[in-house]
Amino acid sequence: MSQMELLHKALVLNPDPFVLLTVLITFVSTIYFWYFHKSPRRSLEIGTLTKTKIVPLSVNFHFTRKCNYECGFCFHTAKSSYLAPLEDVKRGLSKLADKGMKKLNLSGGEPFLYPDHVGEIVKFCKETLSLESVSIVSNGSKIKKGFFEKYGAFLDILAISVDSFDEDTNVKIGRGKGNHLKQLGNISKWCREHNVKFKLNSVINKYNHEEDFSQNIQLLEPFRWKCFQVLQVDTENKGEGAKRDCSRFLISDEDFDKFCRRHRHLDSFVPESNLMMKSSYIILDEKLQFLNKGDVYGESKSILEVDDIEELLARTDYEPETFEERGGIYDWTKSSCGEDANLKW
Ligand code: SF4
C-alpha cells in the first residue's frame, strides 16, 4: 500500500489521534528522505548522470601554488610550480562564464609573484567576460602601487591576509619575517585611491585566538573582515605526503566561538567555522581542475578537457545551499563604493 493510500485510509477510517499522528510522521519522514537523500545530485556520486545543473556562480581559482611565505597551517601548499598559460586560463574561464559564473576570486599561493599574469586575468574577466566581480586574495608583501595604476580599474576587491597585529605572532605563524604589517596601511590607501574594495582575511588559530583585533580593524576600515577557523586538509597540512602539519595551530570550536563573540560588534566581521567552509566553495586549481577540500580530498579532470562542466561540478562536494548559507552572495561589485576616494565602505 502506498504512503498516500495509507494516509487516506487513516484519515477516513481511523479517527484514533495517536494512529493519525503516527501515520502523519511516517508520511513526512518519507518525503524528507526522498527529497534529501534520493535527490538527483546524490545519485551522481554512484555514477548516474542526471539533469541537475549546478551553476558555478562564484569560483575560487588558485592559479599558482608558489608562495614567498611559509604559514604553518597553509592548505594550498607548493606541491607544484605549474602555471597555466594565459591562453588556457582564458579558455577555461570563458567556459565557466558560459555556465553562469558571475564572480571570480584569484588566489594562490601568492598571486602577486606574477603581477602581470594576475593583472591580465583580472582585465580579461572584466573587459571580455563582463563578470560582476573580480577579486584577489594576497598576503600583500609583493603588491606595488603600479599594479593599481595598470589594473586597478578592473579589480573589484583586494583581500589581504592578516593573522595578527603583533609581528612576533606573525613570525611564529610563518607570515613573513617581521615585516608583514607595514604594507597594510599602504595597500588600504591605494585601494581607496583606485576605488578597489579593501578586505581583510584572518585565520584564527592557537597563536591568535586570544588577541583582540578590534582597534586595528577599526583603523583600517575593511568593508569585510573574514575570519576562518584554521582547517585541516588531507595531503595539504595533514597526513601522509603533506607539506605542512597544522596540528599545533588547531583550536576548538569553543575557542573560535569566543573569538567571534569578542569581535561581533564590528560591522565588517564575517566569521566562518570549519563546518561552513567545507562544501561551500568551488575551488579550481592551477591545472583548472575542481578540488574537493571537504572530508574527502580529490580533484576532477581539467575543465580544459571536458565540455560538461556541470557534470564535473556535480561530482564534487560543493553545495550551493551551504554557499548561500555562509553568505557567499554579497555586495561584491566595486560600483557600490563609488568614485569618492574618501567614501567609507
Ligand atoms: S601566504 Fe597563503 S599561500 Fe602563502 S604560505 Fe601563507 S597561507 Fe599559504
Residue whose CA lies nearest to ligand 1 atom number 6: 71
CA distances from 321 to 55, 162, 281, 326, 328 (A): 12, 29, 11, 9, 10
Q: Is 213 exposed, middle or buried (0-12, 13-18, 19+ CB in 10 A)?
A: buried
In a domain, 341, yes or no: no
Residue 27: DSSP 8-state: H
pLDDT in tens, 21-35: 555 554 544 443 333
Index of the ligand 1 atom closest to the CA of residue 137: 2
pLDDT in tens, 209-268: 999 999 999 999 999 999 999 998 888 899 888 999 999 999 999 999 999 999 999 999
Judgement on whether residues 30 and 113 belong to the same structural domain of the protein: no
Residue whose CA lies nearest to ligand 1 atom number 7: 74
Judgement on whether residues 27 and 75 belong to the same structural domain of the protein: no
Residue pair 200/159 in contact by the 8 Å Cβ criterion = yes
Helices marked H in the chain: 3-13, 17-37, 40-43, 86-98, 115-127, 145-151, 167-173, 182-193, 214-220, 253-263, 274-277, 309-314, 320-325
Index of the ligand 1 atom closest to the CA of residue 108: 3
The overall pTM is greater than 0.75: yes
* Cell numbers placing 130: 563582463
Residue of 137, 139, 141, 237 with the most ligand 1 atoms within 8 Å of its CB, for mutation: 139
Judgement on whether residues 226 and 189 belong to the same structural domain of the protein: yes
pLDDT in tens, 93-125: 999 999 999 999 999 999 999 999 999 999 999
Distance 19 CA to ligand 1 centre (A): 60
How many other C-beta atoms can be found within 10 angstroms of the C-beta atom of residue 227? 21
Q: Tell the residue number behind the cell numbers 562536494, with chain if given.
A: 317
Q: Is 255 exposed, middle or buried (0-12, 13-18, 19+ CB in 10 A)?
A: middle
Which active-site residues does the annotation give? 67, 71, 74
Q: How many domains does the structure of the chain reveal?
A: 2
Judgement on whether residues 268 and 184 belong to the same structural domain of the protein: yes
Judgement on whether residues 34 and 90 belong to the same structural domain of the protein: no
Alpha carbon distance 290, 134 (integer Å): 19
